[in-house]
């Protein structure tokens, strides 16, 4: 049976880390270790983690480092790991008790797999307790992995997957300079290296993501959008270099660029123009997919002028609301 290393980056996670570690200690799979990477915490994260892990049945280590961000912490954990498979788990998220067992079973059926993933679900704070969202995230990566990975509906949360340590080493792990959308970037690099993505069927989610209002992913919307664009550009450069550009990949890249263009149209017109240039390089006669009014206006004025008119209209509506 493969040995699995659970890598938990933790920064000031005293409020959450106990439940997170408990979800690891309750795993039905026995051949695993737990590595907590303390990313310069100033609260009781380490004390709480140590207390709970000492009572558990799995070997563990707590690795200290100066605050360097989640990507650096995960890389540090991988360098410390003894396992051939890695379970990344943020210090506020939760695993289903059979999560690792089920996915390791899939690895036996698909020995060429590099990433084994499953359905997952958001948890949202309802005032007094965490509640599960009604819908379950059901990513599916097919033969055109690069195109699929760029689609939001196929987002594989790190915690919902197992990663082969060999695949992580082949791509150099995470880019430590990136703090947002670094998980999608990792998947893209694995796909570019011909990595194999395998989905494990399950009756429900095997991983839960605590969607906190102050989470890192929500800390800077502009950087989040730029991260999405950066990943799309990474795919574009790769397919152009390898001459493996399909229509599905082009559509996926343009969709990401267009969402970025719409975001920056209201905030930074110069950045909008830069992104639009990337879109038009791929599709000179670009028309947005929607909304219908914007698409219709783009047919008459061109997308650039239609978006400018839309921005003016939205700002005018805001002024009217404020003056009412």
CA dist., res. 188 & res. 150, Å (int):
8
CA dist., res. 51 & res. 205, Å (int):
29
**Residue 114 corresponds to which tokens in the numbers above?**
């590099």
pLDDT tens over the chain, length 324 residues: 899 999 999 999 999 999 999 999 999 999 999 999 999 999 999 999 999 999 999 999 999 999 999 999 999 999 999 999 999 999 999 999 999 999 999 998 999 999 999 999 999 988 788 899 999 999 999 999 999 999 999 999 999 999 999 999 999 999 998 888 999 999 999 999 999 999 999 999 999 999 876 666 667 899 999 999 999 999 999 999 887 778 999 999 999 999 999 999 999 999 999 999 999 999 999 999 889 999 999 999 999 999 999 999 888 877 877 776
**Tokens 């240039």 -> residue:** 277
Alpha carbon of residue 106 to chain centroid: 22
Question: Tell me, what's the pLDDT at 234?
Answer: 97
What order of strands is seen across the sheet that includes strand 197-199?
60-65, 32-39, 4-10, 85-88, 161-164, 115-117, 197-199
CA-angle at 103, arms to 235 and 98, nearest 5°? 135
CB-CB neighbours of 51 under 10 Å? 12
* Residue 164 β-bridge partners: 85
**Domains of the chain, start order:** 4-213 (3.90.550.10), 221-323 (no CATH)
Question: Tell me, what's the pLDDT at 245?
Answer: 78
Extract the runs of DSSP E, i.e. beta strands, from the chain. Answer: 4-10, 32-39, 60-65, 85-88, 94-95, 115-117, 121-125, 130-132, 161-164, 197-199, 207-211
In this structure, are residues 181 and 221 in contact, taking their beta carbons and an 8 Å threshold?
A: no
Extract the runs of DSSP E, i.e. beta strands, from 142-261. Answer: 161-164, 197-199, 207-211
* Residue 299 β-bridge partners: none
Question: Tell me, what's the pLDDT at 147?
Answer: 96
pTM of the model: 0.92
Question: Tell me, what's the pLDDT at 218?
Answer: 64
Strand 115-117 and strand 161-164: the pairing is antiparallel
């Amino acid at each position: 049976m493969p040995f699995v290393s659970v890598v938990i980056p933790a920064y000031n996670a005293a409020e959450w880390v106990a439940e997170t570690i408990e979800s690891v200690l309750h795993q039905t799979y026995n051949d695993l270790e737990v590595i907590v990477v303390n990313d310069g915490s100033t609260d009781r994260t380490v004390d709480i983690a140590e207390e709970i892990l000492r009572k558990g049945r799995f070997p563990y280590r707590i690795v200290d480092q100066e605050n360097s961000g989640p990507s650096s912490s995960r890389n540090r954990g991988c360098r410390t790991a003894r396992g051939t498979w890695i379970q990344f788990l943020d210090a506020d998220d939760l695993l289903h008790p059979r999560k690792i067992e089920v996915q390791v079973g899939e690895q036996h059926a698909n020995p060429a797999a590099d990433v084994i993933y499953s359905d997952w679900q958001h948890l949202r704070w309802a005032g007094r307790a965490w509640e599960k969202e009604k819908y379950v995230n059901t990513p599916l990566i097919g033969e055109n992995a690069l195109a699929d990975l760029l689609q939001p509906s196929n987002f594989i949360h790190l915690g919902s997957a197992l990663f082969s340590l060999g695949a992580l080493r082949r791509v150099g792990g995470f880019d430590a300079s990136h703090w947002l959308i670094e998980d999608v970037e990792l998947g893209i690099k694995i796909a570019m290296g011909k990595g194999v993505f395998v989905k494990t069927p399950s009756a429900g989610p095997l991983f839960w993501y605590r969607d906190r209002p102050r989470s890192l992913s929500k800390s800077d919307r502009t950087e989040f959008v730029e991260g999405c664009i950066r990943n799309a550009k990474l795919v574009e450069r790769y397919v152009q270099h390898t001459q493996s550009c399909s229509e599905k990949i082009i559509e996926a890249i343009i969709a990401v660029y267009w969402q970025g263009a719409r975001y920056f149209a209201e905030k930074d017109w110069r950045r909008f123009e830069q992104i639009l240039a990337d879109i038009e390089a791929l599709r000179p006669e670009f028309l947005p997919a929607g909304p219908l009014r914007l698409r219709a206006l783009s047919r008459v004025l061109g997308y650039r002028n239609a978006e400018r008119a839309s921005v003016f209209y939205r700002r005018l509506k805001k002024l009217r609301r404020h003056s009412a």
